Amino acid sequence: MIRDHFRVLVVDLSSGQKSIAAIDGRDKVAGGSGLAAMLFEKYGFLDRPWNDPGQPLIFAIGPLTGYFPLMSKTVCAFKSPYHDQYAESHGGGRSALSLRFADFDGLVITGRAKSGSALIVGSRHIEIKDIHYLWGTDLHVAGKTLRRMFPGAGHRTILRIGPAGERQSPMACITADTYRHFGRLGGGGVMGSKNLKSIMIHGDASFPLPEGGEYVKVFEKVHADMTSTDMMSKYHNLGTPGNVKGLNDIKSLPIRNLQATADPAVAGISGERFAEVALLRNAACAGCPVGCIHIGFQRERFQEENRYIYRQIAYDFELIFAVGSMLGIMDCFEVLKLINVAEKMGLDVISPGVALAWATEALAKGIITTKETIVPLDFGNSSVYADALQHLAYGTNEFYQFLSSGTLKAAEHYGGGDFACVLGQEMSGYATGKVFFVSQALGLRHSHLDAGGYSYDQKHEDKNVEKAVEFLVRDEQGRVLLTSMVACLFARAVYKDELLANCLNSLGYTTLADNMDQVAQHIQKLRWRTRLATGFDPAAVKIPKRFTEITTWKGNIDKKYLNNLKKEYAKRILALGKEEKKE
Ligand code: SF4
């Protein structure tokens, strides 16, 4: 529904109270990232810990969701179990469209249910249902049961957590409709702390499309750009796994805990290899004609007499890097096996992969022993990693409890911080150089998608601190506008400012369309203000020594330049947060 305010459902799991709030601010924060930060200011507590029952778990969509393709992400915001500060995580699947057709721009969940529960949301029906009997089930069992319990395939999204989330692990994700995730910074742990196994949103309302020819004209233009030009074909074709070969070729692929940045053996896990032997089909988030989700298969013999079962497992570059090259696993079916274990447990795949790579090196160096790791972690041995992922999910012993709180937490206790591949959180798969390292280490989400540092590294050889930092600040600003519209960032080449303004105008959001620059600046500052107010100090961020020991296509890492970049970017972030305070 097109409206100039936000319609937000607020549910308190402790009391069972539900209310619908009409909240102003559409022309200031648009939706998505901006709306989530605004809702955290309204409902969150800066000074209480992340697992205080009063803290909100927030989901927000944007003004174009349901009307234009690839406006298909939902922004999830919370105080993170990973660092106890404000955090954002983005997920797709059917989540955004379901929320749109349940007629809500946002969902705020506070409180803690008495026992394992599901929150069911529709346009005419809201219920908190006791499903304690599903507590303890893995993602596959929970998904299968929930799908049977709540019919409505195609119109509903089922968000759920696994054992890692129930244990409130900072590495637990929220899975959306099997193949998409609110992956990083522990959103699954927040659901666990609320005794919330699942959120089911049923998009059961319908709306008329805008009248007049303008909307149809703009829609056709967007759709044609997405489907009949080659702008999006790289995402459909090999998809992001195409990056494996590309990064390896320029010595920028993290391998075996970043002890190397290139290895000919990665041919066994390249996008081309996956497509050749393991790709079954492509899938897409609801409302997306691109279909970048690549689904492979894992085949397993379960009886002597040639009886097999097979599972469908989605893969993308980040997952291949985390449980592939980072762990020295160079066979695509072994990678799929590890992705499957991590997902079944409800773990974000990236952080555990990177954490286990550190643990493997720590074991080899004698910093820890198999008394801690239980299994003999060894680069290239997928069977031991399959076991270790389960230990990490369940927190089997003190070591795995430390490690699942973050590699640096484990390193603080056992030593080995120099070779922890942590940039704010466990690194993304780009060892492209200094600008990326600073961008992820200080970025608000500690994600490679906060700003295109990885791309800047590949295009610039100069060492101009002001220019690089200006790029990071401006690029982040453009991206927060898109994530406030909840655009999939793969569509950033299509949704340029002019087209975005046309989309907004065609739905009647004219003030927003006329002020996109100011809105983007405001959202950027608002998010930084919120993050800083929950304790983030960008000036105190350290980049571990390992990142200065590598060689990329540009040669060795210039430590002085890295430090200057970090200092200058920290200053700019602090200034952004403070400017907003003055407003
Ligand atoms: S491009 Fe991929 S991630 Fe983006 S909306 Fe489409 S299917 Fe989802």
Mapping DSSP onto H, E and C, the string for 23-64 reads ECCHHHHCCHHHHHHHHHHHHCCCCCCCCCCCCCEEEECCCC
Other Cβ atoms closer than 10 A to 263 = 16
Euclidean distance between CA atoms 120 and 139, whole angstroms = 18
Helices (H), 150-282: 163-166, 187-193, 213-227, 233-236, 243-249, 271-277
Distance 488 CA to ligand 1 centre (A): 6
Distance 177 CA to ligand 1 centre (A): 13
Distance 377 CA to ligand 1 centre (A): 34
Question: Cα-flanking dihedrals φ and ψ of residue 488, to 5°?
Answer: -65, 130
CA distances from 258 to 357, 497, 560 (A): 9, 38, 21
By three-state DSSP, how is residue 349 classified? coil
Note whether 306 and 293 are within 8 A (CB). Answer: no
Helices (H), 346-397: 350-364, 370-373, 382-394
Distance 281 CA to ligand 1 centre (A): 14
- Kindly report, residue by residue over 523-574, the tens digit of the pLDDT: 999 999 999 999 999 999 999 999 999 988 888 999 999 999 999 999 999 9
The owner of tokens 């295009």 is 459
Distance 90 CA to ligand 1 centre (A): 12
Instruction: List, edge to edge, every strand of the sheet that includes 279-283.
Output: 279-283, 293-303, 307-315
Residue 161's pLDDT band, with cuts at 50, 70 and 90, is very high
Q: Output the pLDDT for position 582.
A: 46
Q: Which of 72, 485, 486 maximizes ligand 1 atoms within 8 Å of its Cβ, making it the mutation to test the pocket?
A: 72
pTM of the model: 0.97
- Kindly report, residue by residue over 3-49, the tens digit of the pLDDT: 989 999 999 999 999 999 999 999 999 999 999 999 999 999 999 99
By three-state DSSP, how is residue 111 classified? coil
What rounded mean pLDDT belongs to the chain?
96
Do you know the residue count of the chain?
583
**Best CA proximity match to 53, nearest among 43, 63, 62:** 43
Q: Which amino acid is at 401?
A: Q
Note whether 539 and 442 are within 8 A (CB). Answer: no
401-429 burial code (b ≥16 CB/10 A, e <16): bbbbbbbbbbbeebebbebbbbbbbbbbb
CA distances from 494 to 225, 227, 490, 499, 536 (A): 7, 11, 9, 8, 33
Residue 424's pLDDT band, with cuts at 50, 70 and 90, is very high
- Kindly report, residue by residue over 347-384, the tens digit of the pLDDT: 999 999 999 999 999 999 999 999 999 999 999 999 99
Q: What kind and span of H or E run contains 302?
A: strand 293-303
Which ligand 1 atom is nearest residue 292's CA? 2
The ligand 1 site (C-beta within 6 Å) comprises: 70, 72, 92, 235, 284-285, 288, 290-293, 488, 490
Note whether 168 and 192 are within 8 A (CB). Answer: yes
- Kindly report, residue by residue over 166-195, the tens digit of the pLDDT: 999 999 999 999 899 999 999 999 999 999
